[in-house]
Chains A and B, each alone.
Chain A
Amino acid sequence: MAIEVRIPTILRSYTGGAKAVDGAGSTLGDLLVDLDAKHPGLRGRLITPEGGLHRFVNVYVNDEDVRFLAPSGLTALDAKLNDGDTVTILPAVAGGAFGLAALAALCLTHPAAPPTRPTLPPI
């Protein structure tokens, strides 16, 4: 099952510069796993460590934002895909004067280091 995936400029380093690649999967989550096998690291730019879609990534199936497509009670990654669909990935264009620390942790382009367990001095 072939699904065309349109890749934004900032993620083309993972696709050898390609603007569009083909993938397979019956849900968005499956598609991203399939893409990551061919383009290692790509999924990690789209998915948070907790396994959800990054807040500042927009993913569309054909003309719909996946955040509005997911079946009720499920997440954006459960959005169903069909052969011939086009998936478009765009970095959200966002920002603003107020430097929310929480936003830094959620960012797409400059991921914060994963939290480290504090080390306690030996007793």
Chain B
Amino acid sequence: MLTIARTIVDAIVAHARGDHPDEACGVVAGPVDGDTPVRHIPMENAERSPTFYRFDSMEQLRVWREMDNRDERPVVIYHSHTATEAYPSRTDINLAGEPDAHYLLVSTREPDATEIRSFRIVAGAVTEEPVHVVDATVDPNAVQSYLFGQTPLGVDYECRPAS
């Protein structure tokens, strides 16, 4: 399961919406010994493309060094799909190089509903995981078919069947 603060999810969605129809990408860093995403780092999509993303190599070096210096790791690596569902493409799977990261996908294909799903991608194998959004207000738009439970402190999104 990915547990992530609502404020970070909102910032990621805002980034994805802002760059639409190009794909947006970024990282959420967190302490190296935990699994909590804390520090949102929107990254430049060096490809500036609606169908492809790539971190700028020099920005990546700077951010990865900064994480090292702060005893952080990339807990979440996110990008948006702007015309398709939030599920890893063949390209995403082949190029996934951080086996310990949660790969968060955001689909902005619908203008008024944003799909968010999280995956582990290890050696070509994709495993979807639930997303637990902490400190969520109960947003009626969040109550979709894949919502299985909610509490005053969080909203859980169940995995959707693989397509």
Contact = CB atoms under 8 A, between A and B. Distances in A.
B49 A10 contact: no
- Please classify how large the interface on chain A is, using the bins under 10, 10 to 19, 20 to 34, 35 or more: 20 to 34
Contact of A98 (B89, B94, B100): B89
B109 to A, nearest CB: 10
Interface string B34-62: 00000000010001011111110110110
Query: Size class of B's contact patch?
Result: 35 or more
B89 A110 contact: no
Contacts of A90: 57, 60-61, 64
A90 B123 CA distance: 16
B60 A97 contact: no
Interface in A64-94: 65, 67, 88, 90-94
Contact of A65 (B54, B57, B77): B57
A107 interface: yes
A88 B61 contact: yes
B97 A98 contact: no
A64 B100 CA distance: 26
Given A65-B61, A109-B96, A97 B124 contact: no
A96 B23 contact: yes
A107 B95 contact: yes
B91 A100 contact: yes
Interface string A1-19: 0000000111000000000
Interface string A44-61: 000000000000101010
Contacts of A96: 23, 47, 49, 51-53, 79, 81, 89, 91-92
Contacts of A99: 89-91
A10 B98 contact: yes
Contact of A9 (B27, B47, B94, B99): B99
Nearest to A64: B58
Nearest to B27: A93
Given A96-B23, A100-B91, A110-B93, A91 B98 contact: yes
A63 B123 CA distance: 29
Interface centre among A56, A65, A99 (most CB of B within 10 A): A99
Given A65-B58, A93-B77, A97-B23, 14 more contacts: A60-B61, A63-B61, A65-B61, A90-B57, A92-B57, A92-B60, A94-B52, A94-B91, A94-B95, A95-B91, A97-B51, A97-B52, A97-B82, A109-B123
